[in-house]
Amino acid sequence: MDRYNPQEIEKKWQDKWETEQTFCAAPKGKDLPTDLNTPKVFLAEMFPYPSGAGLHVGHVRNFTIVDVLARFYTQQQMNVLRPFGYDTFGLPAENYAIKTGISPQEATKTNIANFRKQLKRLGYAIDWSREINTSDPDYYKWTQWCFLQLYKKGLAYRKESYQWWCPVDQTVLANEQVENGCCWRCGHEVEKKKMKQWFFKITEYADELLSDIDSLDWPDKIKTMQRNWIGRSEGAEIEFEIVSEKSEKSEKSEPKYIKVFTTRPDTVFGATFLVLAPEHPMIKNLVNDKTRNEVEKYQSDALKKSEIERQENKEKTGVFTGSYAINPATGEEIPIWVSDYVLMGYGEGAIMAVPAHDERDYDFAEKFDLPIKEVIEKPENSDDTEKCYHGEGKLINSGHLNGTDSADARELVVNWLSQQGVGKPKVTYKMRDWLISRQRYWGCPIPIAYDEDGNEYPIPEDQLPVVIPEVKDYKPDNTGRSALAKAKDWLTFEMEVKDKKTGKIVRKKLTRETDTLDGYACSSWYLWRYVSAHDKSHAWDSKAVKYWAPTDIYVGADHAVAHLLYIRFWCKFFADQGYLPFREPVKTLLYNGYINAPDGKKMSKSKGNVIDPLDVIDQGYGADTLRTYEMFIGPYDQDAAWDPKSVGGVYRFLNRCWTLCFDEKMQDAKAKADKNRVIRHKTIKKVTDDIHRHNFNTAVSSLMEYVNELYKEKASKEDIITLAKLIKPFAPHLGSEMLEKMQSDDVWPVWDEKYLVSDTVEIVVQVNGKLRAKISVSTDDLEDQEKIEKLALAEENVKKFIPGEVKKVIFVKQAKLVNVVA
């Protein structure tokens, strides 16, 4: 017998799969399989960023889950789409280019080639004819097309907003480039700077994004995170009239009201002051000569404050504007303050402060000695010991609403205020519009150009893609623009456009947008590109998307809100435009855990505790052991620590599978009785069910039990074929080799319920819930309750533990258990 040699057989099968293009989901050049009546399954992992370091064990876990499912469903005779791609835009490639001068285009090509080679060595059942790469002009042409669709509908727009800015590097920084309030490159403290930026109007879909979460077969953890991120709050918008300063002469057209958002309109009688965010545009109208300097200083300090400072320093700060407003409920004049505990980006950027019933307002009022007026009576039975009561109760000090329950008062107050024209119900979201412009070179160019007056002109669809120009120096320029601005030939061009004033078609000199799109834009539609990856005339083919999409199972370990929310947003948008026949892109989401180093810590280069999956293969274990081990390591959705010794255990197990198949001494060819029939059928059922439930670890352990049993009893041909088929999703090379040796087909086996029970069963006998005896009866006797109870009570050890009378005997057929209550 030849020894199990993974090196040899894995190479053999990988070569075969390569030449035969085994895993193509459709005939060559086609998007769809021939038989469209066969059920389909579309599986994908979150496509990786192809880093120079190559695959790590985390990738392997993620991709192997998809691969097990792809191979399982293939064996179940379904049409399986299992494509692959690379998310190639991003900072590492750009930084690498700045450091080495090697272009991101070049580095990406090299890294993809390395990734592809490594993926093939893992034996993944990938349809390589659909490989995509987001930085390929043939791909990002359609990313730009998507952008233009959103632009056409007003969902891609520009507005001024505050962004992180590094004053040393002269560049805008994304949130992930700000570390502890400092620039990740130079370490200098960052500031907020007002800049004109591009946004996608995701808030337009806030309500649907929230309500459809309920229908998703996604982990609760992710669903909760998305709900919190969207952060819907129902409340009211209330207008407070500003008291104009008597000394000021002019009655200009300046706004006379300050709008606030509150979820507790029932407490309006207790609003004793207003607070505006430092960025609030009306502040300049509220200050007077006495307060102006102090307020302006506070505003500019607030802008400089780093995120960390704001987080650490919860001590309230603020300044009085010098102006007053009228509480519409009480008619009292209340002071208007400015404080950074009010955020400009949420609600109206202004609040009515009710210090008696809001902890933050309470702290502020205490610090600045502002009045605190109770308007909700704490119920007597309340055990709330907080310094201010924020629960429900009866209204007090609230005029005509005294005595009303606070919960009822909310609606009454809003109705009352709206009759006076100073209030209305309002729903507010924490979610903001999605900032998409990046001052970076290595991203998808935004297909927009400007004339001298700054008017926007979309690049016509037939002129896409706007290709990234080659440059020599990848650093951003000193105006905060990306290196794209350095490609002078590219930057300006002439185009026929409709003049904004005259409406005539004129040829104009235009300047291109130098911002590129956030990488998340590129990954917001790639799942649909997979269905017709080489379509030259559409982003995706409507027939192909109708058959294959939405994605049935999507597997990843990251992007709980960002990517997984953006992809839902685009799906709903393109459904509304008639491009997609469904409104949710992913039916089932599997969110796998991380693999940590043997010491339980995160793997990292600096700690030197990284396990390289290719090393594991090359040590002699092979890809099948690596894959099976990572499925066996624990529940797929939990973090796990790498254990080199356990890898050896899985290798031993695969060796035993090999031996059963290739060592004739282990087999019993002439056996008359099918001795292993019960465990064989049980194993088929268990593995099938476990894969459906994504319990990959217990699927593997039940195969181990089966093999242990076959070692005791010797294996029949059918035992070996069944083992080969069941193990193939995990260890595809070994499974294929075994099936070849047995000259078997590759159809997933089915179990027969009638073989799941053996002739005799063991009945557990308890006395008062404690195990006292086990009796063996024939399976038919399970129906005869009286007989079993009699047998149970006759057991010596059972009798011994019955002190007096038998009060009751409980027989549970399904659990094969008798409990004697004595």
Partner RNA sequence: GGCCGAGUGGCGGAAUUGGUAUACGCGUUCGACUUAAAAUCGAAUGAAGAAAUUCAUACGGGUUCAAGUCCCGUCUCGGCUACCA
Of residues 761-800, those binding RNA (CB under 7 A): 762, 764, 766, 768-772, 774, 797, 800
Of residues 620-639, those binding RNA (CB under 7 A): 633-635, 638
381 phi and psi angles, rounded to 5 deg: -80, 0
Stretch that binds RNA, among 61-69, 71-79, 177-185, 307-315 (CB under 7 A): 307-315
Helix or strand (DSSP H, E) at 323: strand 319-326
Q: Tell me the two tokens of residue 552.
A: 């049935």
Q: Tell me the C-alpha distance between 228 and 355, whole Å.
A: 25
Q: Tell me the C-alpha distance between 233 and 330, whole Å.
A: 25
Q: Please state the closest distance from residue 279 (CB atom) to RNA, in A.
A: 11
Specify whether the CB–CB gap between 165 and 189 falls below 8 A: no
143 versus 272: smaller Cβ distance to RNA:
272
Number of residues that bind RNA (CB under 7 A): 85
Q: Please state the closest distance from residue 176 (CB atom) to RNA, in A.
A: 11
Q: Please state the closest distance from residue 264 (CB atom) to RNA, in A.
A: 5
Of residues 537-596, those binding RNA (CB under 7 A): 561
User: 387: exposed, middle or buried (C-beta count within 10 Å: 0-12, 13-18, 19+)?
Assistant: exposed
Here's the x/- map for RNA, 78-117, by CB under 7 A: it reads as: ----------------------------------------
DSSP 8-state symbol, 593: P
171 versus 272: smaller Cβ distance to RNA:
272
DSSP 8-state symbol, 534: T
93 versus 617: smaller Cβ distance to RNA:
617
Helix or strand (DSSP H, E) at 413: helix 406-419
- Does 58 engage in binding with RNA (CB under 7 A)? no
- Does 650 engage in binding with RNA (CB under 7 A)? yes
Backbone conformation region of residue 81, classed left if phi is above 0, alpha if psi is from -120 to 50, else beta: beta
Short-list 456, 562, 588, CA closest to 515:
456
Among 28, 99, 249, 314, binds RNA (CB under 7 A): 314
- Does 313 engage in binding with RNA (CB under 7 A)? yes
Vertex 729: Cα angle to 728 and 733 (nearest 5): 45
59 versus 694: smaller Cβ distance to RNA:
694
Q: How far is CA 776 from the centre of its chain?
A: 51
Specify whether the CB–CB gap between 267 and 329 falls below 8 A: no
Of residues 711-740, those binding RNA (CB under 7 A): 711-712
- Does 648 engage in binding with RNA (CB under 7 A)? yes
- Does 51 engage in binding with RNA (CB under 7 A)? no
Q: Which residues pair with 508 in a beta bridge?
A: 495
Among 646, 671, 782, 789, binds RNA (CB under 7 A): 646
Q: Which amino acid is present at 756?
A: L
Stretch that binds RNA, among 136-144, 240-248, 347-355, 743-751 (CB under 7 A): 347-355
Q: Please state the closest distance from residue 688 (CB atom) to RNA, in A.
A: 11
Q: Tell me the two tokens of residue 381.
A: 């039975």
561 versus 802: smaller Cβ distance to RNA:
561
Of residues 449-508, those binding RNA (CB under 7 A): none
Of residues 61-80, those binding RNA (CB under 7 A): none
Q: Tell me the two tokens of residue 324.
A: 């007053």
Q: Tell me the C-alpha distance between 47 and 454, whole Å.
A: 37
Q: Please state the closest distance from residue 770 (CB atom) to RNA, in A.
A: 6
Of residues 224-243, those binding RNA (CB under 7 A): 224-225, 228, 231, 233, 235
311 versus 619: smaller Cβ distance to RNA:
311
Among 243, 372, 491, 817, binds RNA (CB under 7 A): 817
Q: Tell me the C-alpha distance between 45 and 559, whole Å.
A: 12
- Does 686 engage in binding with RNA (CB under 7 A)? yes
Q: Tell me the C-alpha distance between 682 and 424, whole Å.
A: 64
44 phi and psi angles, rounded to 5 deg: -155, 150
248 phi and psi angles, rounded to 5 deg: -70, 130
Q: Tell me the C-alpha distance between 190 and 165, whole Å.
A: 6
144 versus 625: smaller Cβ distance to RNA:
625
- Does 643 engage in binding with RNA (CB under 7 A)? yes
Among 158, 430, 583, 717, binds RNA (CB under 7 A): 430
Place of tokens 């991003």: 90
Of residues 251-280, those binding RNA (CB under 7 A): 261-264, 277
- Does 690 engage in binding with RNA (CB under 7 A)? yes
Of residues 797-816, those binding RNA (CB under 7 A): 797, 800, 808, 810, 812, 814-816
Q: How many CB atoms lie within 10 A of CB 311?
A: 10
Q: Please state the closest distance from residue 191 (CB atom) to RNA, in A.
A: 17
Specify whether the CB–CB gap between 340 and 302 falls below 8 A: yes
